[in-house]
Amino acid sequence: MRAFVITGPRTAEVQEVEPPVPGRDEVVVDVERAGVCGTDAEFFAGEMAYVHSGDAPYPIRIGHEWMGAISAVGEGVDPSWLGRRVTADTMLGCRRCERCAAGRQHLCADRYEIGIRGGWPGALAERLPVPVTALHPLPDTVDATLGALVEPGGNALRAFRAAEIAPGERLLVLGPGTIGLLTAQIAAAKGVEVHLLGRDAPSLDFARSLGFPHVWTADTLPALRWDAIVDASTAETLPALALDLVEPGRRVVCIGISSDPSLLDTRTAVLREITIAGVLSASGGLAETIDLYASRAVDPRPLVATTTGLDDLPSILAGTRPPEWGHAPKIHVDPRR
């Protein structure tokens, strides 16, 4: 089968590889749609932390935002899974340790991460092996585009939950990329007044096109009460700004990761009694995200600029983007093309 393989920094190609065979308690999924994430670009550039820690040596097969249909089941798997449309949790814990037993498999020290950590192959390929315990069925109302947006939506939902903000309160989201916009959509659907802080005009204009009127730059941000702040940016300076801006006694949620360390003055957090929460993954947020999409309470499909094929990935990951794709942040891939 065809699979996209990164063999080293800025070196990648579509290769013919052996198709997966389901092991015990596993299925094989025929991938219909997969998203390209900032993590994938970091692997391509050689900047991903897991590359340097040894958790994800090259060659690596990326892709962790996906959906598809089950084409084979292994020993111990109910045959009724065959043909079902699914997505899955990226984080595959060992299922033996205390963290896994407590439902925190995404923090398991021995976890695999699909297309990211431990050598588990990713979804930018025609087929993908997945443990049956990680699967989430997709209803017919969740199409291929929505299905491949469940994983980033689950991250955004968990960021929203961590903000502990109520209907009618005001949320500031830093960074109008995919996660920031998904967080904004979810918050708006739950009755929160949403504001977004960004930097460049095209991304801000795109946020406005989604129906968010309160879109600002650092120079135009009004002096309002911010009941919670979600930092979905990759700017190392913004977590400190969030501590300065958020209402005392409330919460700052960090889900974006900068390439350089973010420096915080913990005295600000102490003296203003601010809680700082980090969000690593979509684990625990996938089922509700599917429900939000299925009901159309949240419809993130406008965030997808285009759907292309595996052969276009090297140029996409290198940052080349045709102007006709517009300014929507997400790119999808159909591996069958």
46 lies in the same domain as 100: yes
Same-domain status, 319 and 243: no
Give yes or no: residues 161 and 254 share one domain: yes
Tens digit of each residue's pLDDT (9 = 90 or more) over 292-319: 999 999 999 999 999 999 999 999 999 9
Contacts (Cβ under 8 Å, ≥6 apart) of 235: 174, 175, 256, 258
The predicted pLDDT at position 259 comes to: 84
Domain count, the chain: 2
- Is 93 domain-assigned? yes
| Structural contact between residues 331 and 303, judged by C-beta atoms closer than 8 angstroms | no
Query: Which residues touch 173 (CB under 8 Å, ≥6 apart)?
Result: 180, 183, 184, 187, 194, 195, 196, 197, 229, 230, 232
Query: Would residue 289 count as lying in a domain?
Result: no
Which residues does 174 contact at the CB level (< 8 Å), separation at least 6?
180, 197, 229, 230, 231, 232, 233, 235, 238, 241, 242, 256
Same domain, 53 and 94: yes
Whole-prediction pTM = 0.97
Q: Does the residue 283 lie in any domain?
A: no
**What does DSSP assign to residue 262?**
P
What is the model's pLDDT at position 107? 97
Angle at 40 (CA atoms; ends 38, 46), nearest 5 degrees: 105
Nearest to 32 by CA among 85, 74, 91, 79: 85
We report the CATH number of the domain holding residue 46 as 3.90.180.10
Same structural domain for residues 20 and 131?
Answer: yes
In angstroms, rounded to a whole number, what is the distance separating the alpha carbons of residues 205 and 28? 41
Residue 55 structural domain: 2-137+300-333
Of 89, 88, 135, 90, nearest to 117 by C-alpha is 90
Say yes or no: 116 and 228 in one domain.
Answer: no
pLDDT at 251: 98
What span, in angstroms and rounded, lies between the C-alpha atoms of 140 and 3?
27
Residue 292 domain flag? no
Is 101 inside any structural domain? yes
The reply to whether 315 falls in a domain is: yes
| DSSP structural state of residue 309 | -
Same-domain status, 119 and 165: no
Does some domain include residue 51?
yes
Q: Sign of the C-alpha dihedral, residues 128, 132, 133, 138?
A: positive
For residue 69, being part of any structural domain is answered with yes
Do 120 and 200 reside in the same domain of the chain?
A: no
Q: Is there a single domain that holds both residue 304 and residue 268?
A: no
Tell me which residues of the chain have a pLDDT lower than 50. Answer: none
Beta-sheet strands, E only, within the chain: 2-8, 11-16, 26-36, 65-73, 85-88, 91-92, 112-113, 127-131, 135-137, 170-174, 193-197, 215-216, 226-231, 246-254, 275-278, 304-308, 330-333
Residues 224, 184, single domain; the answer is: yes
201 and 323 fall within a common domain? no
Structure tokens at 201: 């005009």
Mention every residue, 6+ apart, whose C-beta is less than 8 A from residue 266. none
Q: Do residue 25 and residue 114 come from a single domain? A: yes
